[in-house]
Chain A
Amino acid sequence: EPEVTQTPSHQVTQMGQEVILRCVPISNHLYFYWYRQILGQKVEFLVSFYNNEISEKSEIFDDQFSVERPDGSNFTLKIRSTKLEDSAMYFCASTVNFIRATNEKLFFGSGTQLSVL
């Protein structure tokens, strides 16, 4: 079964450093997402991306965050200057579309555990 691939699986960084989390969505998918999960808490929406632009972003997704689809296969999340509270598991997800008749669904990657020290 096709899957969403995320790298690295773990990232440790110093506060104030920039990090880039990478994702390779499923090849024919059109909608891309980043979610995050702080340890012991629920999964929270960060941003959605379609047709090479942000469709929607949450209040968590401030000016320190950016997303990019630099080529036809990668989808990245950049945090410009990491803070301690950015420590979380970051999940990439993708889907073809949400037309119910086709029973499409959102596929999640295994996540990148980001630890900011």
Chain B
Amino acid sequence: GQQLNQSPQSMFIQEGEDVSMNCTSSSIFNTWLWYKQDPGEGPVLLIALYKAGELTSNGRLTAQFGITRKDSFLNISASIPSDVGIYFCALMDSSYKLIFGSGTRLLVRP
């Protein structure tokens, strides 16, 4: 099956710091997605990336689709307490189902 590696597994940062997390895949995909999951909730889409090299922002969040189409990163600038949660990268395969990464748990110290 597809290998999707997400790192880091967890991060504990100070409010105001920037955060970066990334994912790599063993195969080439055409769609990278970044989701956030709050406790007790379902994943919510943050950013969708469709083109190699694409850099997309959503407020304080920035994500890029790697040129090789095998990797992506998500940056959060000036973190705030409500950024706490689990961030998942996900790939959309040719049958439109999502393959999720293992998640990055983010904790923000006020």
> A-side interface residues toward B, CB under 8 Å?
4, 31, 33, 35, 41-45, 48, 55-56, 91, 93, 98, 100, 103, 105-106, 108-111
Contact = CB atoms under 8 A, between A and B. Distances in A.
15 contacts: A4-B42, A35-B98, A42-B88, A42-B100, A42-B101, A43-B88, A45-B98, A48-B96, A98-B92, A98-B96, A100-B31, A100-B50, A108-B43, A110-B41, A111-B40
Q: Is the interface of B mostly helix, strand, loop or mixed?
A: loop
Interface of B: 31, 37, 40-45, 48, 50, 88, 90, 92, 95-103
A43 B43 CA distance: 9
Closest 3 interchain pairs by CB? A108-B42, A43-B100, A42-B100
Contact of B45 (A4, A48, A91, A105): A105
Contact of A91 (B43, B90, B96): B43
